[in-house]
């Protein structure tokens, strides 16, 4: 009776220990990328998941992709998941876990590893795009500068022309007055010359009349008056 009780007690303790061992949580593994987590497209990379114990099944999962799952059963404590000829869609966040033959549930998940895949074509285009943008900016800035320069020259020219217009108008007025005065003097001198060269016709007639009168008077004095001979004869 006592022996059977002890046997049952030992069996219960063993079963309880195994159940407790199956239900205990396993420590989380570690995940890292080799040679780097940032790689170029069409290249290769290896994700390594390391567990604290051996003889485990490693599981590699991807965030936001429930259909992605890779498993490896190894006697070692590290599993390698190889990626070859990488594509842009292979980029993303990965994590791994493991489970032992004795455990019912898997371990905690490892820290997430972000796999970044760069495109060589994009890398080549990036400097050219920067250069094109810089060239466009320089061209636009040069055009604006030239336009502002022409506008400044035009404004300065207009201001200078507007500022000198009173002086120029004064000069034009004085020049016109001087021309008018010179023209008036020329007309006056021309009129004097005409008056001197062409004497008054009435004056000329009076002079001629005076000369004729004098000549007639002289001729009259030389002639005897009528009846003088008769008067002399009578007197004698």
Is the whole-model pTM more than 0.75? Answer: no
Give the start-to-end residue ranges of the domains of the chain. 26-118
pLDDT tens-digit profile of 151-207? 989 899 888 876 555 555 565 556 666 677 777 777 677 776 655 554 444 444 445
Q: What is the CATH number of domain 26-118?
A: 2.60.40.10
Residues 6+ positions from 22 with CB-CB distance below 8 Å = 102, 103, 104
Residues 6+ positions from 24 with CB-CB distance below 8 Å = 103
Tokens of 48: 């390594």
pLDDT tens-digit profile of 34-65? 999 999 999 999 999 999 989 999 999 999 99
């Amino acid at each position: 009776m006592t022996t059977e009780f002890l046997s049952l007690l030992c069996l219960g303790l063993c079963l309880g220990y195994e159940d407790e061992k199956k239900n205990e949580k396993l420590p989380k593994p570690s995940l890292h990328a080799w040679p780097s987590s940032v790689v170029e497209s069409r290249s290769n990379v290896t994700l390594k998941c390391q567990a604290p114990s051996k003889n485990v099944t490693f599981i590699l999962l991807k965030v936001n992709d429930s259909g992605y799952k890779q498993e490896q059963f190894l006697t070692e404590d590290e599993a390698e998941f190889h990626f070859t000829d990488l594509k842009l869609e292979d980029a993303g966040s990965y994590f791994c876990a493991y489970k032992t033959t004795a455990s019912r549930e898997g371990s905690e998940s490892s820290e997430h590893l972000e796999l970044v895949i760069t495109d060589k074509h994009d890398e080549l285009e990036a400097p050219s795009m920067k250069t094109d943008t810089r060239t466009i900016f320089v061209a636009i800035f040069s055009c604006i500068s030239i336009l502002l320069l022409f506008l400044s020259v035009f404004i300065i020219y207009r201001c200078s022309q507007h500022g000198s217009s009173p002086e120029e108008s004064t000069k034009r007025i004085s020049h016109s007055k001087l021309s008018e005065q010179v023209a008036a003097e020329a007309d006056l001198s021309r009129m004097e010359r005409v008056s001197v060269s062409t004497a008054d016709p009435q004056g000329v007639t009076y002079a001629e009349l005076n000369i004729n009168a004098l000549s007639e008077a002289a001729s009259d004095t030389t002639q005897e008056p009528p009846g003088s001979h008769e008067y002399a004869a009578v007197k004698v």
